[in-house]
Amino acid sequence: MDQISRRSFLVASAALGGAALAGCNPAGPTTGGASAPAPAPTKAPADITGELTIWNGSSQMTNAIKQTFQAAYPNLKVNLVDFGGNDLQEKLLVALATQTDLPDITWVIARRAAIYLRTNQFLEMDDLLKPYESRFDSPSAIVRHRGRIYSYVQGPGNVALWVNAEQLRQNGIDIATFTTWDATIEAAKKLARDSGGQKTFLIQPLRAIGFNTFNTFFHSRSGNWWTEDGQPYKDGRNLQTLQEVFQFWIDLKRAGIAYENDWVPPTFWQAAREGKNLGYQMNFAVGANNTVQNLPEQSGQWRMVTWPKWGPNAPNQTGAFGGVFYAVLKNAKNLDAARAFMTFWLEKGMEEQIKVWGISNYKPATELPIYQEGRPFFGGQKVQLDMSRVPYPPFNYWDWDKMESEIGPIVEQAAAGQVTAAQAVDLSVKALEKIASERR
């Protein structure tokens, strides 16, 4: 997953005196004074000149930026620096600490937002983006930190079930019954029982992907590990929800109805070709793309099933796995161009954003014809439109690299039967308190 190397973290911590990275000082010690909000752009495209440097971690966006944004601003020179996602994160952390070689705009993984935004070196975008806020389906699509707006999520990680509906039908299972998790688990048990434990359509991975998969279940029940200001969220109802999700995870393991790995290894797709792995839960980027690329011979058989509800009267909502955003540095050299970039993908570049990411929580984008096209691989299903109807609730990402390393093993211990659900909650709270204390 997206891990920052220990060396980069220590370099940054030393340069920033620890406090800015820790997030215990809202103002941050490196810039002096509060951030100023970004005024709305007023210049016409032809009047925006100079250079704009963008650090980009999504190869999917490279052509979109070059061919659409650059074309819309002919008098602007765009310096696009492409990195691998992990390389960008490490370089950005060090650049923020040393305040050297910083771009105007940088790409950020959504779940890692806090470690960067709390350095107080990013430009607040309230004035610029507030008018767009009501057009997003999910409140979590707006990137906030300590109450201020900095960006919006692209390629949101709405999670769904991706299943071979035809092969499930041949095994006596109708995906139309996957309306609640109780019904879905019963179907998985029937499939496992009838196939002698050889077939499944769920996954239960290990390590970082496992923790993030577990978190989609917790998130979809409106769970939160942290309060908005980064303190352990120890509300009684929230902890009860966490215990119930731990129990769900334990029961899933005990029932032996989930593939105990993720979709990354070739062995997963080989098992799918052999009719053993008939599905998995994941976001659009993986589900709609990896399935098509790896199983072209199964075109027309697969379907996307929106995230089941946790009960007949429970809200229809999912969890998130993924999402990225672009943010403007406070000391950006070309603020006019930076502001234009931020609004471009919500206006003229809206269709191009859909071509890149496939899915959006931005309601005007979901009204575009391209968004409502049926996908032949999925039997003509309007996958994007259907997924967008099941948003995810607000969620607070803090110290996610430490969450993966500290809470992830607890999730594995629970699945292995080494701790009960109640004990897993207690251990998680202690881990959260430890992570929070290390910020100070």
Tell me what the pLDDT averaged over the chain comes to.
89
Q: What are the CA-CA distances from residue 301 to residues 20, 158, 178, 304, 422 (Å)?
A: 51, 22, 17, 10, 41
Residue 33 has pLDDT above 50, yes or no: no
For residue 355, pLDDT beyond 70: yes
| pLDDT classification of 256: cutoffs 50, 70, 90 | very high
Residue 28 reports pLDDT greater than 50: no
Residue 3: pLDDT band (50, 70, 90) is very low
Mean pLDDT (whole number) for 302-311: 98
Q: Looking at residue 198, what is its pLDDT?
A: 96
pLDDT band at 41 (very low <50, low <70, confident <90, very high): low
- Residue 120's pLDDT is 93
Pure H helices in 228-367: 236-255, 266-273, 284-294, 335-344, 350-357, 363-366
Q: Which residues pair with 56 in a beta bridge?
A: 82
The residue among 428 and 90 whose pLDDT is bigger is 428
How many angstroms separate the CA atoms of 35 and 26, rounded? 11
Neighbours of 417 (CB within 10 A): 10
Name 91's Cβ contacts closer than 8 Å, sequence gap at least 6: 55, 83
Position with higher pLDDT, 188 vs 388: 188
- CA 80 to chain CA centroid, Å, is 23
Q: Are 303 and 383 in contact (CB under 8 A)?
A: no
**pLDDT the model gives residue 137:** 81
Q: If you write DSSP's letter for every residue of 102-127 in order, what string do you get?
A: --SEEEEEGGGHHHHHTTS-B-B-HH
Mean pLDDT across the stretch 362-387?
92
| Contacting residues for 10 by C-beta, under 8 A, at least 6 apart | none
- For 6-156+322-367, CATH gives 3.40.190.10
- Sequence-separated (6 or more) residues with CB below 8 Å from residue 425: 239, 242, 243, 246
What CATH code would you report for 159-320+394-437? Answer: 3.40.190.10
Distance (Å, rounded) from C-alpha 166 to C-alpha 164? 6
Spatial distance between the Cα atoms of 311 and 179, rounded to a whole number of angstroms = 9
Over 90: is that where the pLDDT of 431 sits?
A: yes
Average pLDDT over residues 275-296: 95
At 42, the pLDDT band (50, 70, 90 cuts) reads: low
Domain boundaries, the chain: 6-156+322-367, 159-320+394-437
**pLDDT of the residue at 60:** 84
pLDDT at residue 138 greater than cutoff 90: no
In this prediction, residue 308 has a pLDDT band, given cuts at 50, 70 and 90, of: very high
Residue 356 DSSP SS3: helix
Q: Which residue has the higher pLDDT, 202 or 35?
A: 202
Counting DSSP H helices and E strands in the chain, the numbers are 20, 9
Residue 388's pLDDT is 87
Nearest residue to 419 via CA among 258, 247, 244, 210: 247
Q: What's the burial of 101, exposed, middle or buried (CB within 10 Å: 0-12/13-18/19+)? A: exposed
pLDDT > 60? residue 251: yes
Question: Which residue bears the tokens 């500290």?
Answer: 406
Structural contact between residues 105 and 341, judged by C-beta atoms closer than 8 angstroms: yes
Distance CA 344, CA 328 (A): 14
**DSSP secondary structure string for all residues of 115-177:** HHHTTS-B-B-HHHHGGGGGGBSSGGGEEEETTEEEEE-BS--BEEEEEEHHHHHHTT--GGG
Please give the torsion angle defined by the CA atoms of residues 282, 286, 291 and 292, in that order, rounded to the nearest 10 degrees. Answer: 140
The type of residue at 28 is: G
pLDDT band for 90, please (50, 70, 90 cuts). confident
pLDDT of residue 18: 40
Percentage above 90 pLDDT, the chain: 76
pLDDT digits (tens, 9 = 90+) for 120-132: 999 999 999 999 9
Cα(405)–Cα(74) distance, integer angstroms: 46
- Rounded CA-CA distance 210/204 in Å is 6
Where is pLDDT greater, at 28 or 254?
254
**pLDDT score recorded for residue 165:** 98
- What is the mean predicted confidence (pLDDT) over 373-385? 95
Query: How distant, in Å, are the alpha carbons of 157, 207, 239, 302, 329 from that of 417?
Result: 30, 16, 20, 34, 46
**pLDDT of 146-186, one tens digit each?**
889 999 999 889 999 999 999 999 999 999 999 999 999 99
* Fold agreement between 6-156+322-367 and 159-320+394-437: yes
Provide the pLDDT confidence category of residue 189 given band limits of 50, 70 and 90: very high
